[in-house]
Amino acid sequence: MKQSTPILILLLLCCSAVFSASLTYDRATGNLDGFAVNIADSPNYPGGYTNATEVWSKSGFIGRLLYLGEPCTFTFSNIGPVASYTSNNRFYFTLNNDGTPNTGVWREFFLVTRAKGITHGGSQHDFSSINSVIANNSGSFILNVGAGTELASVGEVGYDTNRNSGVYTGTNAFRYKYPYSAIWIDVTLIRTTSARSSTTRGYYESHIQITTGGGLSQTLYLGGMYNPRSSHTEPNAYAFSIEELYTSAFPFSELENRNSVAASMEVATIKYVSHVDQAEISIASNAAGTAAAFYFTTSDGLYFPFRVAYDAVTPNLSPVEITPASNTFTTVSTTVASPVGGSYTANRLEEKIKLFVPVNTNPAEGLYSSTIYILVTQID
């Protein structure tokens, strides 16, 4: 089964805006699949979780989102399949046996999240002290604090290793821009009593996308089940993220002297994690994954070619140009440590997408855009 995720990159001979942050799935003690769809949790309504009681120990614990960046809003959206015969605007596991979706069979759920921080000294801090409930599709919560290892500017307020704040002098302890080195967000699904034929045997799926509105996108492909037959094929269960460095148009001057793989300009990072499925990741200029001729185009027909380079971080490989004969890369099984504690083994891939142009490329002035398709294919 293939799922394609487009990265839209705009080019404008004007100003630039660069964003640097990251959002990563950390499985730890969570799961992406195996959720029972024939049961409801207790309590099974959103109001039962708008309190300080943590819920990560429940069977619906998905895992953690690890975040680095400035304060922002996280939005959780159902990106399919869409359940039939329901007027509730929530999230759903829908039946998918052997690659054949049946959206008329489903179990409804909502999400409970809890944000916490890791100080620069390594201690954990439950700064929110309360759950944020994502009761409906496209619901969100606001993260009011940032995280990262960036240094504060001299003369501005900074933080020490224990979250204490003060004006940074360039030599004192208040050297960090943010109070935390990282933030993690526990994500747990809570199944409601609303269901339709959810005792139908087989596998179920739900696709949830988390975005920050600033170039970060994390998609969770979740798997449910109810007493599947041995002949049933389980759908994909994985996490896939895109981190764009450019979230608005950038000037051609930043690209014009990038004329080789070695000199290519990084525009995005993609990450795949699954404890269930190995996968192949393909990069192409069409949704079928078969073309590798890339062009920036304008709405009035202007265009110029560019080239794409793949720089693998996991597994660690030398950068290569994307061509029709060399555009597919395979995940590897690795064990990684969680900054929150513990470690886990998963099939992983992390790669940087980079751009370069032929020598003497000189496009006419205008607003150009291009779509790079990333295709994920499960390996049986």
Mean pLDDT for each consecutive 10-residue tract of the chain (380 residues)? 44 39 87 96 97 95 95 94 93 93 97 97 94 97 94 96 97 97 96 96 96 88 95 90 83 93 94 91 90 93 95 92 92 88 89 95 90 86
Judge whether 88 and 107 are in contact, CB under 8 Å.
Answer: no
Where does 42-171 have alpha helices with state H?
A: none
For residue 49, the 8-state DSSP code is G
Residue 18 has a pLDDT of 40
Residue 20 has a pLDDT of 64
β-pair partners for 311: 352
β-pair partners for 24: 66
**Prior bond to 315 cis, omega within 30?**
yes
Both tokens of 48, joined, read 């039962």
Tell me the C-alpha to C-alpha distance, in Å, between residue 190 and each of 10, 56, 129, 236, 274. Answer: 39, 11, 19, 21, 22
Measured in whole angstroms, the distance separating CA 72 from the mean position of its chain's CA atoms is 15
Map tokens 């950068």 to a residue: 319
Residues in the chain: 380
Residue 50 has a pLDDT of 95
- CA dist 300 and 305 (Å) reads 16
- CA dist 11 and 305 (Å) reads 13
Q: Is the pTM of this model over 0.85?
A: yes
Residue 28 has a pLDDT of 76
